[in-house]
Structure 1
């Protein structure tokens, strides 16, 4: 079965972010989106640790130990970028000043509940970071994740079994198999990014979905 790579997933997400948007990219796989945004469009990237105007990841010789994102990864700063206290950064998030955030997830439910900070296992390390603030503060929440777990279970579920990060907050899910919208009437497949049929996608996912206009 054909699947998108993480880079291809990041490219797909980047295509949907409009010019002029203020965007936070969550720790982990979502940070790859920064490397695939069109440099001819003005998209302002935000990081919880107090950066506005991040660019793509630096080259091997361009790393600056004092310039990192919230995940402690080296980043670049575009002309006009700024640094500020993380309290001001969270004021931006909580004040509704971010148009989009892109987050990873362990699970997303059919009604857009997000579980991405803890698996509930006794030996798991909780890592909520700014996810709860972003899930409720951003105008649009995109999730970027593999469609299935390593054990072959769907990460898109009827109801989240992991601790909830935000309720009803997810608007669109990008996986290595499909792009799926969360709508008031249920999940709608926008695009299948694999060589499987709609029926096969539904069987793998295990929840009810309907075709979108181009799904």
Structure 2
């Protein structure tokens, strides 16, 4: 069975902890990537960074936890963990651009087989571009994870031979988490790490890219 957005977020959270058992500095992009915060286990050591100026962000706030002055970059109310710190947005971007983040998790309109990322504009005349800090994160984080559905509402694949939308970053994506599969992007191209509700042969038949054995 394919994964829903919370299951994808849980898989990403699990892999972040596995890759950095002593903790990592991680930025979660606006939209579905923010769900990853809700699936990090207590005591994981992961320090979540927000581009609007916070370290050690906790899960989303609910009920009496909601403080309108405490939000992530997507204006979603969040909680704070012990040791949380707040600072100017310029300092936050300095962290992003200075290579101080171990991982960022971003959404995407398209990812190419070579790891190019397009996530800020579809190029459509009536579309509203929204780059935010995506370019800074794409080049500044040590590893870039993408969280997205593998196919759009029109059935078109988002994992493509070459991006047709304006690029956010070139060759920056390391791993792609989708509802149907997890992919690693490396020197040999895109490698399938796991599949959900689809076998590898069907997956390969629906994508216009080569998937090494």
| Bin of the TM-score, shorter chain as denominator length | over 0.9
Of residues 69, 89, 94 in structure 2, which corresponds to 1:91? Answer: 94
Unaligned segments of structure 1, at least 5 residues: none
How far off its partner does 1:61 sit? 2.1
How far off its partner does 1:41 sit? 1.2
Distance, in Å, in 1 between the alignment partners of 2:12 and 2:44 is: 15
Distance, in Å, in 2 between the alignment partners of 1:13 and 1:36 is: 9
Tell me what 2:112 maps to: 109
| 1:190-209 alignment, distance < 5 Å | 190-194=193-197, 196-209=198-211
Q: Is the 8 A contact 2:188 2:212 kept in 1?
A: no
Which TM-score applies when normalising by structure 2? 0.96
Q: Is the 8 A contact 2:103 2:145 kept in 1?
A: yes
Which TM-score applies when normalising by structure 1? 0.96
Distance, in Å, in 1 between the alignment partners of 2:10 and 2:211 is: 24
Moved over 2 A (4+): none
Question: How many residues in Structure 1 have an aligned counterpart in Structure 2?
Answer: 209
Of residues 74, 80, 91 in structure 1, which corresponds to 2:77? Answer: 74
Distance, in Å, in 2 between the alignment partners of 1:185 and 1:202 is: 16
| 1:1-215 alignment, distance < 5 Å | 2-17=1-16, 18-19=20-21, 20-194=23-197, 196-211=198-213
How far off its partner does 1:44 sit? 0.1
Alpha-carbon displacement from aligned partner over 1:162-204 (angstroms, at most 9, x marks no partner) = 000000000000000000000111110011122x211101112
Report the 3-state secondary structure (helix = DSSP H, G, I; strand = E; otherwise coil) of the residue aligned with 1:170: coil
How far off its partner does 1:40 sit? 2.4
Unaligned segments of structure 2, at least 5 residues: none
